[in-house]
Amino acid sequence: MARIVGGIGCSHAPSIAHSFDRGLQKDPMWKPLYDGFEPAKEWLEKLKPDLIVAVYNDHMNRFFFDAYPTFALGVADRHPQADEGWGKRDFPDLPGNAEFSWHLAQSLVEDEFDPTICQEMTVDHGILSILPLLTDNRWPAPLVPLAANVIQHPLPTPKRFFHLGQAIRLAVETYPQDLRVLVVATGGMSHQLHGDRFGFMNPAWDNEFLDKLESDPQALVALRHHDYMERGGAESVEMIMWLAMRSALGEKVRRVHRHYYAPMLTGYGLVVFEGVDG
């Protein structure tokens, strides 16, 4: 039987990808961010997962507003990177696991989720801005991308993401092969990139979110989209995707690592959990 062996929640941002590609890991502005990923990278190297399920959002690189699915699941043995307008990055395509992905698709539908099934799924900085920081470009395991709509209203509720994580856990535990599965969820923390509140950040809320994600996730489930946007800026509603990772690990977790850095237009957060309730 497959089992979930850990979870990672982290911010994604195109600025992270640009800093990585420009070799700015030691730059004073960026070094605190990269230093904060080192313990997570060391933990991941020891964990050696067999599979990664990643919940993230696409930024109009695979989907567009004329047809933006609420949830979309990639079911392929290879996931090419998207060209986001400045050419593809110098990375190999991401390996997938079509067999597990089809099992996950069937299990989600039986659990009353209805994902759009994509036999071709390109991935953008929602995954690829942070994965190199965790792996040094050596993809540690095949990846199953699960894209969610946190851009075009109506959005799935925080409760829906919490239930999605539980559905992912059920799918993993009913898969007959012995796989060690890591669940990753990415999404920007406090930031707003338009309107009168352009540049708004709220590190105090970001850290409160990280506190509650660990110890009281139901308090985050109870919030409305408006609450997230009011406290963290319009785009920070992406944080609700982290709830899928948290619930996939079970009722209680052990925090392995946590880091937060807010030097620019967004808060960069990172948390690593292991489940403690079986």
Catalytic residue set: 125, 191
pLDDT, tens digit, for every residue of 46-78? 999 999 999 999 888 788 889 999 999 999 999
Between strands 3-10 and 268-275, the pairing is antiparallel
pLDDT of 278 over the 60 cut: no
Could you give the CA distance from residue 75 to residue 107 in angstroms, rounded to a whole number?
Answer: 13
pLDDT of 42 over the 80 cut: yes
Range of 123-127, 151-155, 245-249 with top mean pLDDT:
245-249
User: Would you state the pLDDT for residue 259?
Assistant: 98
Model confidence at 90, pLDDT cuts 50, 70, 90, reads confident
Above pLDDT 90, what percent of the chain?
77
pLDDT, tens digit, for every residue of 95-117? 999 999 999 999 999 999 999 99
Name the nearest CA neighbour of 130 among 143, 149, 115, 119: 143
Domain interval for residue 124? 3-275
User: Would you state the pLDDT for residue 61?
Assistant: 79
Helix axes 203-215 and 225-232, enclosed angle (nearest 10): 140
* Polymer length in residues for the chain: 278
pLDDT of 236 over the 90 cut: no
User: Where does residue 92 rank: exposed (0-12), middle (13-18), buried (19+ CB within 10 A)?
Assistant: exposed
Residue 177 is part of a domain; what is its CATH number? 3.40.830.10
User: Would you state the pLDDT for residue 86?
Assistant: 82
pLDDT, tens digit, for every residue of 11-27? 998 889 999 999 999 99
pLDDT of 89 over the 90 cut: no
Specify whether the CB–CB gap between 3 and 172 falls below 8 A: yes
Residue the block writes with tokens 């808060």: 267
| Averaged pLDDT of the chain | 93
Helix axes 98-110 and 158-173, enclosed angle (nearest 10): 120
pLDDT of 147 over the 90 cut: yes
User: Would you state the pLDDT for residue 137?
Assistant: 66
Mean pLDDT of all residues in 204-226: 97
Could you give the CA distance from residue 271 to residue 7 in angstroms, rounded to a whole number?
Answer: 8
Above pLDDT 70, what percent of the chain?
99
Name the nearest CA neighbour of 234 among 182, 197, 271: 197
pLDDT of 242 over the 80 cut: yes
State pTM to two decimals: 0.95
Count up the domains in the chain and report the number.
1
Distance from the Cα of residue 62 to its chain's centroid: 16
User: Would you state the pLDDT for residue 6?
Assistant: 97
Name the nearest CA neighbour of 144 among 14, 242, 56: 56
Between strands 180-186 and 3-10, the pairing is parallel
Specify whether the CB–CB gap between 214 and 240 falls below 8 A: no
